Structures are given as C-alpha cells and as structure tokens.
Structure 1
Amino acid sequence: MAQNHEIAKEVLDAVGGKENIASFAHCATRLRIMVNDKEKIDQKQVENIEKVKGAFFNAGQYQIIFGTGTVNQIYEEMEKLGLDGSSKEEVKSQAKQQGGHFQRAIRTFGDVFVPIIPVLVATGLFMGLRGLLTQPEVLSWFGTTPEALSPNFLLYTKVLTDTAFAFLPALVAWSAFRVFGGSPVLGIILGLMLVNPALPNAYSVADGSAEPLTMFGFIPVVGYQGSVLPAFFVGLLGAKFERYLRKRIPESLDLILTPFLTLLVMITLGLFAIGPVFHSLEEVVLHGTTAVLNMPYGIAGIIIGFLHQIIVVTGVHHIFNLLEIQLLEKTGVNPFNAIITCAMAAQAAACLAVGLKTKDAKLKALALPSSFSAFLGITEPAIFGVNLRYMKPFIMGLIGGAAGGFLASLLHLAGTGMAITVLPGTLLYLNSQLPMYILCNLVAMAIGFALTWVFGFNDKMLNDMKIADK
C-alpha cells in the first residue's frame, strides 16, 4: 500500500503540479483545490491513485474524495511538499466567482444555512428523545404514565426542543451578516428584534389567540418566530448597508453612527416591508412543498426518492435546507427527511453490491468503505467513486430510492429533525415510527442491492473501463 506521502506526490502531479494550484483546503471527506488551468488535470490519473474514491468539479472547485481521516493526512503531506494551505472559506470565496448565476446563488444560500444546521440537528434529536420518553409504552416500563410526568420536567424538555426555532431569525441573520461581510453581532441583534416579545407572537397570531399590530393603518406587524426568509434578506441587505456606511462615515464617528443607522434602518425595513413581503412568500413556498409531499398514492415519494441523489450530483441540494426548516418550524415534522433517507440507503446498498460482487481488490477496497460511509449519511464517496463511475449501479440506486420513498410517503413517515439520515437518522424516528423507518430503508436497500447485483454490475464493466482508459 502506498504511503500518504507518495499519494500526495501523485495528486500533485496529476493536477498539473504546484504551479497549477491556486489554493487548496479540505473538508470532512474531500480535498478541495482551486486550479489555474482545468486542462492540465489528468482525470484518469487522479482516479487511479490509491485511496482516491472519486474526483470531480463542483462549486468551482476540483474536489478529490478521500474519506474521513484520510483526507486530513493527505492534506498535511501536500503541505510538506511546499504548498500553502488555505482556509475552506478562502477557497469557497474564490469558487464563488465561478459557475452560473443560479449555481452561485444556491452556493451562497448553502453558505448561510450550513453553519446553523448542527443546532437544528441537536434540536431534532431532542424532539426524538422527548417523543420516546413521553410514549406510554416506554413509560410503562418504569411504572408511570404521561399524565404523571412532572410539569417542570416537561417544561425543561420544551426549552430543549423549542429554543432554536423560537430564535431562528437570530441564527439566520447572524449567518447572513457573516457571509455577506457585515458584523455578525449586528445580525444577531436584528434577528432578535424580529422576535422581540413586545411584538405579537407569530404562533399566537397563527392560532388566533393574538392579533397583528397595524402600522400606518394598513401594514400588519407580527413577530417572526421560526421564519427564515425575512431574516435572510434582513441579513443580506443589512450587511451590504453596513459596508456602504463604513466606506462613507468618518472613522471618528464610525463606532457610533454605523451600528446605529444599520439597526434603525434595517429593523424598520424588516418589520414594515421585508418581513410582511417575504413572510408571505415563505407561506407560498411552504404550501407548495406541503402540496407536493401530500400528493396521493405515494407519488411524492417516488419523485423525490428518485431525483434527490441526482440533485446531490449537481451540487445544488442545499436549497432543500430552507424547505426542511420550514416544515419543522410550521408542522413539527419532516416527511422530506424520510424520503431522502431511502434515496441515500439505496445508493449505499448499490455500492455495497458492487463491493461484494467484484473480484477486483482495488474496487472492493474502494466500494466497501464507501458504502459504509453512505450508510452513515455521506453518499458522495459511493456516488462519485463507484456508482456513477459505472452508471448502472447509480441508476439501480435511484430505482431503490424511488421504491423506498414511495413506501415512506404511503406510510406518512416523518422525522422530528433534519440533516441526519440512514443509520444516525434512526434517532429522528423514536416516537413510535422506528419500525416503519427501518422497513422503508430495508425496502430501498433490498431493491438497490438486488438490481445492482443482477443487472447493474459485473467485472466485465470494470475490464471494459480499464481498456477504454488505456
């Protein structure tokens, strides 16, 4: 087995040498490289390097998949070869200049929402655990009932499950200010202003127990608890307005006037213009999403289960973060998670079938760890390293995802959170849904595995590819 130092040298040679690397960084599984000239990259040479599980251009970067742990070691070895690593943010900043307007917009949208996902993941887990601990069947094991639970204990669990969504605008506005170059602390304050207790609570207005304020005789004003789009655009415009002010206000007055004017102007716009407009748009998006998910006969599951991993390949799947956040905030459940989990489980099973069926030692060593990674919710190594390379396993995985999604949709399966799937995702279905969750994923896996084993792969495909590469 080649040493990591040798692998780093091979990577450097295959991407065109030091002079072709503008900057490089790494994330959890991938080496992310900005190159000066794409034509100097030898794609076949990169894919044949030991431990490489796939390589492709995405979001303006050349991304080489090594997997967790390994990528850190390869990155360190490349630094030893005389390359200066960049932060992931710097590489992303360069990448934002590439691609079409739509791709850049989705990338920016993802940059805003990805940092707040860990908090929403934790909240989803709290919801799942709360559902488990309040089930009569579970409580009966301890000789008690839901009615006998301490009100203080239930209040404590509500603090865990409700806080992130009650103050979601503060998280979104903070992240938007950070991404668009403003002062994040101003974003936090603007987001908190949008949910100030002095405003009518959005949940109370929704259930009819409170009325919106009417400003200037015609503008309805409410708090924006759980809203996303108003906070996003307040953050975007607020950061740009702050930067505009800093360029024009004398340094001696900057500390006083810039935050004062930024907060004054943006909360006025947020409550009286941006909030009402984008909250209405948010409702339209939510109703549209709900309508698709409520399509009869499991049609939504078929469509989403089949298409989701194709969208992952394009790199614009971060747009779904908004939809999942809205579903959780408005309904408390996330049926989208259940469907896409089946799509990922099917790709994992297709990759596993390739790994078990092939007699090629290198492909087996690539496919088996990649399938395990996919069962943990990270499908890129399986997709780009194995399934998409031979195409048929990818298609069989799509069919399995559609079948599992169909069943999940018919059973109205819905998670209590977002962003974790397949094996870790079981924690989102502890509220009596776990047997159905396991069933849907087993169906997706069985179909993806069986179709790949019978129709999707044989070693002749591997040999044909090797001949084509020569």
Structure 2
Amino acid sequence: MSDNKQIAKEIIDAVGGENNIQSVAHCATRLRVMVNDKEQIDQGTVENIDKVKGAFFNSGQYQIILGTGTVNRIYEEVEKMGLKSTTKSEQSKEAKKSGNVLQRAVRTLGDVFVPIIPVLVATGLFMGLRGLVMQEKILALFGMTPADVSENFILFTQILTDTAFIFLPALVAWSTFRVFGGTPIIGLVLGLMLVSPSLPNAWGVATGADPLYFFGFIPVVGYQGAVLPAFIAGIVGALLEKRIRKRVPEALDLIVTPFLTLLIMIAAALFIIGPIFHTVEEYILQGTLVVLELPFGIAGIVLGFFNQIIVITGVHHIFNLLEIQLLEKFGNNPYNAIVTSAVAAQGGAALAVGLKTKSKKLKALALPSSFSAFLGITEPAIFGVNLRYGKPFVMGLIGGGVGGFAAAIIGLAGTGMAITVIPGTLLYLNGQVIPYILVNLLAIAVAFTLTWLFGFSDKKIKETVQD
C-alpha cells in the first residue's frame, strides 16, 4: 500500500501538476482542489490511486473522496509540497463565481442552512427519544403510566425539543448575515427581535389569538419557527449594513451602523418582509404537502427515485427549507422517511458490486463505500462505484423508488432531518422503528438483487479499473 506522501504526489500529478492548481482545501471526507484547467485532469488515473474512493467536479471544485481521517493526512502531505492551501469556506467563496445562476443560488442557500442543521438534528433526536420514553410499553417497564410522568419532566423535554424552532429566525438571520457579508451578531439580534415576547406569538395567532395592527391594516405577529422572513431580512439587512458602513465616518461606525441597520430592518421585517414572505412560506408548505400527499405512494416513488440524481447536481440543499417547514409546522418529516430509502439503496447497489467482483481493488472500494452509505453518506458509493459502472446507480435509483413507495404508503415520518439509514433510526423511536427498518431493508434488497442479477459483471471493470 502506498504511503500518504506518494498518494499526495500521484494526486497532484493526475490533476495536471502544480501549475494547474490554484488552491487546495479539505472537508470531512474530501480533498477539494481548485484548478486552472479541468481538461488537464486525468479522471481515470485519479480514481485508480490508492485510497481514492471516487472523484468528481462540482461547485467549481475538483473533489477527491478519501474518507474521514485519511483526507487530513493526505492534505498535510499536499501542504508540505508547497501548494497554496486555504480553508473550505474561503475556497467556497471563490468557487461561487462558477456555475449558473441556479447553482450559485442553491450553494448560497446551502451555506446559510448547513451550519444550522446540527442543532435541528439534535432537536429531532430529542423528539425521538421523548417519543420512546413516553410510550406506554416503555413506561410500564418502570411500573409507570403516562399519567405518572411529572410536569417538570415534560417541561424539561419541551425545552429540548422546542427551543431551536422558537428561535429559528434568530439562527437563520445570524447565518444569512454571515454568508452575505454582514455582522453576524447584528443578524442574531434582528432575528431575536422577530420572536420578541412583546409580539403576539405566531402559534397563538394561528390558533385564534389576535395580531397587532399597525396603521390600522398591517398585521404584526412574532415569527416563531418562520424561515423565509428571517432569510430575506438577513439578505437585505446584510446588504444594508455594508452600504451604511461605507457612508459612515469610521469614528461613528461602531454606534451608527448597528443602530441604523437594526432600526430600518426591524421596521421593514415587521411591516413588509414578514407579512409578504410568511404568506409565500405558507404557499410553499402547502405545495410540498400536495406533493407528499399524492395518492398510491406516487410521491414516494418520485422522490425516492430522483433524490440521488438531485444530490449529484448539488442542488439538494434547497430541500432543507422544506424539511424545516415540515418539522416546524407538524413536528414530523415524511420527506426524510422517503429519501432514506434512496440513500440505503445506493449502499445496497455498492454492496452487491463489492460482493460480486473478484477485483481486490474494487472490492476494497465498494464494501467500505456501501457501509458509508448505510451511515448516510453516499458520495463514496455513488462516485466511486455506482456511477462509474452506470447500471448499479440505476438499480439504486429503482431501489430508492420502491423503498420510497413503501414509506409513503404506510405514512412513515421522522421527528427530525439530515440523518438517514442507520443513524436515522433515532428519528423513529416514537413507535416507528420496525417499519423504518423494513423500509430501508426493502430498498437495500431491491437495489442489491437488481445489481447482482442485471447491473454488474467483472467484464465491465476491465475498462476502468486495474488491479
């Protein structure tokens, strides 16, 4: 097995040499290379380098999948070679200049929402755990019934499960200010103003309470759980802050800039942005529900089949907004239940390749990649195995559609978002674990069987893989 220094050198040579590289960064699993000319990249050579699990060009970056831990060691060797290194965020800013308008817009949306997702994942896990411990069968093990659970314990669980959504506008405004070049703390305060206890609670108004009326006709409410009003206010606020800062003398900047930004933006957010985009948000939610409620499991088939195609295009972050809305409004997420099948199925297809092939190199790539997919990360399986041979990817799509159909038919819905397959089990502890496991096993079994029978043979690897 090659050492990391040798692997780093082989990677640099295969992407066109040092003169073709602008900068190198890395994330949790991938080495990200900004190149001058992507035509100089030798894709086949890169994919056959030891420890490389796949490579693809996306978002203006050539991304080489190496896996957790390995990528850090390879990156250290690349740095020692004197190449320009940078942070992932700095490189992402440079990469944003590439791609069409939709791709740039979706990348920006991802940059805003991805930092927020971990706390929403944690909240979903708290919901799942609460659902587990509150089940009558579980309580009975301790000689208790739901009536025996103390009010203080219920209050404690509500703090865990409700806080992130109550203050979601503050998180969104903070992250949006950060992405659009404003001062994040100003965005945070603006978001907190949108959920001020002085305003009528959004959920209270939704159940019959009266909003405040300014000027006799503008309804003003708190925006607990709202996403779009905070997102738009964050964009406008960050741009406004930068304009104000350019015109204010430096000696007064500390006082005047945040004062004017917050004064103007809270008025705009409460009287204009909030009412308009809260309505838009409601229409988006209703449209999502129409799709998810299509009869005969159609939504599951469509979303389960096309999900991983959408992931390849890099525009899947747009669904973060929809999942957040579902969780905020209903406390559950049927979309997660469908797409987990798509993820599991790609793992099933890669597993079939790994078990069927006689190529030691492909086996060493496919088996760990399938396990990675079962942990919710499909890039190694997709780019390293399934897409390379074509048919396994298609069989994975079919498996995802079948699993999605089953999830839609039985009404499966998670308590959170962003984690799937094995880790996603924690989102279904409220009495849904068995059907969740069966749906995933169905998706894996269909993809595995189709790949084994029709999707792969060792004749294909002679074209792309060398032992």
Q: TM-score, normalised by structure 2?
A: 0.99
Partner of 1:2: 2
Structure 2 equivalent of residue 347 of structure 1? 346
**CA deviation map 1:201-228 (0-9, x unaligned):** 00011111x1111111211111000000
| Equivalent position of 1:329 in the other structure | 328
Q: Give the distance between the partners of 1:415 and 1:62, measured in 2 at CA.
A: 34
Question: How far apart in 2 are the matches of 1:418 and 1:46?
Answer: 34
1:132 aligns with 2:126: no
C-alpha distance in 1, partners of 2:122/2:2? 39
Residues 52-81 of structure 1: per-residue CA shift (max 9 Å, x gap): 111111111110111111111111111111
Q: Is the 8 A contact 2:55 2:384 kept in 1?
A: yes
Shift of residue 265, structure 1, vs aligned partner: 0.4
Work out whether residues 48 and 465 of structure 2, in 8 Å CA contact, stay in contact via their aligned partners in 1: no
Q: Give 1:225's aligned residue.
A: 224
Deviation at 1:253, TM superposition (A): 1.1
> 1:421-440, aligned counterparts within 5 Å?
421-440=420-439
Tell me which residue corresponds to 1:259.
Answer: 258
Question: Shift in Å at residue 84 of structure 1?
Answer: 3.1
Cα shift readout 1:171-205 (whole Å, capped 9, x = no counterpart): 00000000011110000100000000111100011
CA distance in 1 between counterparts of 2:416 and 2:134 reads 17
Q: Which amino acid aligns with 1:65?
A: I
C-alpha displacement of 1:464:
3.7
**Structure 2 match to 1:107:** 107
Match of 2:48 in 1: 48
Tell me whether 1:416 sits opposite 2:425 in the alignment: no
Specify the code of the residue in structure 1 equivalent to 2:72. N
One-letter code aligned to 2:190: L
1:312 is aligned to: 311
The residue type equivalent to 2:295 in the other structure is: P
Give, as a single letter, the amino acid of the residue that structure 1 aligns with 2:75: Y
Aligned amino acid, residue 202 of structure 2: A
In 2: Cα distance, 1:41 partner to 1:400 partner: 33
Alignment pair present for 1:163 and 2:180: no
162-171 vs 198-207, which deviates more?
198-207
In 1, distance between residues paired with 2:214 and 2:24?
A: 52
Amino acid at match of 1:178: R
| RMSD (CA atoms) | 0.9
| Aligned amino acid, residue 185 of structure 1 | I
Mapped to 2, the partners of 1:175 and 1:437 lie a distance apart of: 33
For the residues of structure 2 that align with 1:53 and 1:453, how far apart are their CA atoms? 21
- Matching of residues 152-231 of structure 1 within 5 Å: 152-208=152-208, 210-231=209-230
Q: Distance in 1 between matches of 2:364 and 2:27?
A: 22
Partners of 2:41 and 2:123 in 1: CA distance: 43
Q: Aligned partner of 1:319: which letter?
A: I
In 2, Cα distance between equivalents of 1:415 and 1:305: 15
- Residue 68 of structure 1 aligns to a residue in which SS? coil
Tell me, yes or no, if structure 1 residue 77 matches structure 2 residue 80. no
Displacement of 1:432 in angstroms is 0.3
Alpha-carbon distance between aligned partners in 2 of 1:199 and 1:338, rounded to the nearest angstrom: 35
Query: Aligned partner of 2:255: which letter?
Result: I
Partner-residue secondary structure (3-state), 2:55: strand
Q: Distance in 1 between matches of 2:133 and 2:347?
A: 31
Distance in 2, matches of 1:464 and 1:236, equals 49
What SS is found at the alignment partner of 2:459? helix
Paired AA for residue 134 in structure 1: M
Give the whole-Å Cα distance in 2 for the aligned partners of 1:464 and 1:244: 56
Pair 1:403-2:377 in alignment = no
Residue 131 of structure 1 aligns to a residue whose secondary structure is: helix
Query: Secondary structure of the residue that 2:32 maps to in structure 1?
Result: strand
Amino acid at match of 2:309: I
Question: Map of 1:258-407 to 2, 5 A cutoff?
Answer: 258-407=257-406
Distance 2:277 2:308 in 1: 29
The letter of the residue matching 2:409 is L
Aligned mates of 2:26, 2:13 — CA distance in 1: 18
> SS of 1:459's equivalent?
coil
Q: Quick check: 133-142 or 45-54, which moved more?
A: 45-54
The amino acid that maps onto 1:339 is I
The CA deviation at 1:23 is: 1.1
Please give the alpha-carbon distance, in whole angstroms, between the structure 1 residues aligned to 2:128 and 2:327. 13
- What is the CA deviation profile of residues 250-294 of structure 1, one whole-angstrom value per residue up to 9, with x for unaligned ones? 011111110000000000000000001110000000000011111
Distance 1:182 1:279 in 2: 23
SS in 1 for 2:116: helix
Helix, strand or coil at the partner of 2:24: strand
Paired letter, 1:256: I
Determine helix, strand or coil for the equivalent of 2:114.
Answer: helix
Task: Deviation per CA, 1:88-131: give whole Å up to 9, x if none.
Answer: 11110110000000100000000000001000000000000000
Measured in 2, the distance between the counterparts of 1:39 and 1:348 equals: 31
Count residues in correspondence. Answer: 466
Report the counterpart of residue 447 of structure 1 in structure 2. 446
Q: Distance in 2 between matches of 1:38 and 1:212?
A: 56
* Runs ≥4 residues deviating over 4 A: none
How far did 1:44 drift?
A: 1.4
Letter in 2 for 1:405: G
Q: Which runs of 5+ in 1 are unaligned?
A: none
Range 344-353 or range 76-85, more displaced: 76-85
Q: Aligned letter for 1:378?
A: I
Letter in structure 2 aligned against 1:7: I
Given residue 51 of structure 1, which amino acid in structure 2 is its aligned partner? K
Q: What does residue 245 of structure 1 align with?
A: 244
Instruction: Extract unaligned runs of 5+ from structure 2.
Output: none
Counterpart residue type for residue 41 of structure 2: I
Q: Specify the code of the residue in structure 2 equivalent to 1:202.
A: A
Partner of 2:18: 18
Q: What is the CA distance between 1:466 and its match in structure 2?
A: 5.2
